[in-house]
Structure 1
Amino acid sequence: MNSGPTSPDTAQRYEMLQAGLDLLDQGITVFDVNLRLVAWNEPFLRLLEFPRELAYVGAPFESFIRFNAERSEYGPGDRETQIAERVAAAASFAPHVTERQRPNGRTLLLRGEPLPHKGFVTLYSDVTEQRYIENLTEYQNIQLDERVRRRTAQLENANANLTRANDEKTRMAVALKRSEERLRLINDTIPILIGYVDRHEVYQYANKGYSDWYGHPEGGVTGRAVLDVIGPHVYGQVRDAVKKALSGQQVTYEYQMERQGQTVFARSTLVPEITPEGETLGFFVFSHEITEQKRMQAALIQAQKMEAIGQLTGGLAHDFNNLLTVIIGNLAALQDHRPDDSAVQEFVQPALQSARRGVQLIKRLLTFSRQQPLEPQAVDIGRLIGNLGKLVRRSLPESIAVSTDLAGASIHALVDPGQLESALLNFALNARDAMPDGGRLHIAARSVELAGDAAAFDVLPGRYALLEVADNGSGMDAATLARVFEPFFTTKRFGLGSGLGLSMAYGFVKQSGGGISIQSQPGQGTTVLMVLPLTTPEADDDAAGDDAPHAPAGELVLLVEDDPDVRRVVRQQLVDFGYPVIEAENGVQAIEMIEQIADIAIVVSDVIMPGGVNGRQLADFVLSDHPHMRIVLMSGYTDEAAGDVASELPVLAKPFARQDLARALQATKRERS
Structure 2
Amino acid sequence: MTMAGLNLIQQALTIYDNDLRLVLCNRRFVEMFDLPHHLNEPGATFEDTIRFLVERGEYGHLPDTEAAVRERVDQAMTFQPHYLERERANGRTISVEGSPLPEGGWVTVYTDITEIKAQEALLRARSEELNAQLLTRAEELSAANRKLSATNAALAEAKRELTAMEARTRTTTEMMPAHIAHLGPDRRYTFSNRRLNSIMPGRPSNIIGLHIADVLGTQAYRAIQPYLEAALKGRSSVFTFTDEASSRRIRVAFTPDRHDGAYVLSTDVTEETQTRVALAQTRRRALAAQMTSGMAHDFSNLLTIILGMQAQLGRMDLPDRARDLVSATLNAARRGGDLLNRIAEMTTGPEHRPTATGLGPFLADFSTIATAALPSYITLDIVDDTGGATLMLDRGTLQDSLLNLVLNARDAIGTEGAITLRVASVKDTWVEFALTDTGPGFSQAALDNAFTPFFTTKGGEGSGLGLAMVYNATSLAGGQVRVGNAPGGGARISLRLPWRGAPRPVDPGLVLLVEDSADLRRSVRDMLRDLGHAVIEATTADEALDLIAQVPGITLILSDISLEGTGTGIDLLDRLPAGAPPCYLMTSLRPDHPLHAAAVTRAPVLRKPFGAEALAAYLRGEQAA
Check whether TM > 0.5: no
Q: TM-score, with normalisation over the residues of structure 2?
A: 0.42
Q: TM-score, with normalisation over the residues of structure 1?
A: 0.40
